[in-house]
Amino acid sequence: MQKAEEPFSAARPVTAQTKRPVPSYFWSRDSHHFLFVQDQAADENYHVYAVDPPEALAPGGGVPKARNPTDAKGIRAFIYNVPKTDQAHIYVGFNDRDKAWHDLYKLNLATGQRTRVRKNTDRVTG
């Protein structure tokens, strides 16, 4: 990425993730975090990663460090909503209670703190 007024030659990579493809990516509503979704172990347990592009580069990596605010072993994080009115949070489904169904959580992008909003006992898929 580069600033809008800069030439393409000034662009720099945002992530050096090469282990698995990055199927989706986007900006947080406040444009502070570059967000992407990735499966690290070919187990379909996708997680959401956040990068703060102006942050100092990770040692030896040449790119800013990617944080995983959805980090939990053996679960899949599913992004449901990136609200316009609450720019510090996104809404994510986690299948940590029941592997078949995702409960809805409000996730703070800066801290990773999550609060369950709805327990999915109705087996809602999306």
**CB contact at 8 A, 102 and 93:** yes
Query: Tell me, what amino acid is at 31?
Result: S
CATH of the domain at 64: 2.120.10.30
In a domain, 3, yes or no: no
- Tell me the per-residue pLDDT of 20-71, one tens digit each, with 9 for 90 and over: 888 888 888 888 888 888 887 788 888 888 888 777 666 776 788 888 888 8
CA 61 to CA 59: how far, in whole Å? Answer: 5
* Range(s) of the domain holding residue 35: 14-118
Mean pLDDT score of the chain:
86
> 13 is written with which tokens?
């990579």
